[in-house]
Amino acid sequence: MLKDIDAVIFDVDGTIADSMWMWKQIDIDYLEKFGIPLPENLQKNIEGMSFRETAHYFKEHFSIPDSIETMMADWNEMAAHKYRYEIPLKKGVLDFLDKCKEKGILLGIATSNSVELLNCLLKAHKLEDTFHVIITGSDGLRGKPAPDMYLEAAKRLSVEVSKCLVFEDIIPGILAGKRAGMKVCAIDDVYSKDVLLEKKKEADFFIESFEDILEA
């Protein structure tokens, strides 16, 4: 899988961090403040959106009276504690990162999450100095499935897109990597079990965990 690869770029939530469960609860708690029940398909509708795009979606669809900046600040506050103390990394992540370093492969992150929350996670797991490039929803790029985040990551890494390998857990992310012209490995996650077959179809590779690669 790593043959002819010069850079590996990771999504975060559901890919290297076991955190997708958290966001549904935050949505429930946040909307409850305004007396709004959680719509059944909300998570699927906002899947892949950047942090700011999600705030605009909430404001437009639920008539949230707060400003976009206030909404994002509230979400950051609600999620920060969980990223610091409750969110584990996926199995095999640390060993795989070490394997990439040993091979001289550059490492990047492309996440729709905010830079503030990503920093909470990285500091909690002592990964602040691990990645050469970090692209977040705070950078103002279009969210996934648009390829913008992955293209920007490759640009900053000075690596050709054909030499990049992406790890993703959801369909919009997989499509973003493919539309950027990169190889994509889908990873299993409980949150996206219902689209498992589609994930395998759209991606170039599929793993249940990073331990699969270490054992190969």
pLDDT on residue 125: 97
Rounded mean pLDDT, 155-160: 98
DSSP conformational letter for 33: T
Over residues 134-154, mean pLDDT: 95
CATH number of 7-18+88-215: 3.40.50.1000
pLDDT tens, position by position, 99-142? 999 999 999 999 999 999 999 999 999 999 999 999 999 999 99
Give me the phi and psi of 87, to 5 degrees please: -95, 115
The C-alpha torsion from 82 through 16 and 115 to 103, rounded to 10°, is 140
Contact 153, 108 (CB under 8 A): yes
Tell me the per-residue pLDDT of 56-79, one tens digit each, with 9 for 90 and over: 999 999 999 999 999 999 999 999
> Which DSSP helix (H) or strand (E) runs through 122?
helix 115-124
Average pLDDT over residues 134-156: 96
pTM: 0.89
Q: What is the pLDDT of residue 216?
A: 62
Give residue 51's pLDDT band: very low, low, confident or very high (50, 70, 90).
Answer: confident
Taking the domains of the chain in order of start, what are their residue ranges? 7-18+88-215, 20-85
Reference 61, options 78, 73, 74, 49; nearest CA is 49
Count how many residues are written for the chain.
216
Structure tokens at 81: 């504690």
Query: Is residue 4 predicted with pLDDT exceeding 90?
Result: yes
